Amino acid sequence: MRFVTYNIHFGVGRDGYHDLDRIAGAVDGADVIALQEVERFWPRSGMVDQPVELGKRLPEYWWVYGPNIDLHSPATFPGESAGRRRQFGNMILARRPILASENHPLPRLPASPQSMRRGALEAVITGESQAVRVVSTHLCYVSAPTRIAQVAELERRHAEACRDGGGWTGEHPHGGGWQLGSEPAMPRSVVVLGDFNFAPGDREYQTSIGRGTSPFVDVWPHAGTGSGATKDGARIDQAWVTSDLVPRLRAAWVDGEAAGSDHQPLWCDIDA
């Protein structure tokens, strides 16, 4: 399977031009797409419902969206819905059905100078040989202690996912229309994709995955070619996998030509 992660900067490239066609064109062809900084009804991006618009541009994909900021969005024109929400978060698209998804809030420390809610959107997706959990995440931009806490939460969630199960378990004792079929199992194999806002040399990396104390393994040292830089010369957009997937890694690379964001897309091929 081919995976790609892309912080789309709400569709605005380094040239200052807003164009979701560039975003869709840069990721089209992947089996699984993880996007960050996807928003709904913000003035800076033209009051566009970006998940819906991206879904229209990528009609062969199923998709889910996980907002981490959710605010009232005033109606701009007569007849617009009074219940419209201004949202900002992560998105996952897949060529195969997304069997289930959950959006998990990540911790934020009060000492952070920018206390923006971050999250991890988790989806169960049918793979070529097995189901896999995919996470699209975006960690804190300004606070290293907050990022350390957020990585720890990603690790905790992984440790408990298979034990806790998904959105429902078993059967409702009184029926009542809750019998929706078998709950999809929570696969132990995980691919974590996103903008971590730290590079391999940073403390956040070294305290967990860099020391080998994390349940996750960085794809790049095993399969990457080139520097892997995704923004300002640093590899802050990363792909992590559980150890069982390491022998299945085939390649990882950065698309240095994509111009739709202030980040570059990171791709990887995994036999999954």
- pLDDT, tens digit, for every residue of 225-267? 999 999 999 999 999 999 999 999 999 999 999 999 999 999 9
Domain ranges of the chain: 2-169+181-270
pLDDT interval class at 205 (50, 70, 90): very high
Q: What is the mean pLDDT of the chain?
A: 91
C-alpha to C-alpha distance for 201 and 2, rounded to whole angstroms: 27
**Number of alpha carbons in the 13 Å side-chain half-sphere of residue 229:** 8
Residue type (1 letter), 198: F
Task: Return the pLDDT at 171.
Answer: 66
Least confident of 91-105, 117-131, 246-260: 117-131
- Please indicate whether residue 129 or residue 113 has the higher confidence score (pLDDT): 129
Q: What is the CATH number of domain 2-169+181-270?
A: 3.60.10.10
**Average pLDDT for 203-209:** 93
- Give the pLDDT confidence score for residue 113 in this predicted structure: 63
- At 80, is the pLDDT very low, low, confident or very high (cuts 50, 70, 90)? low
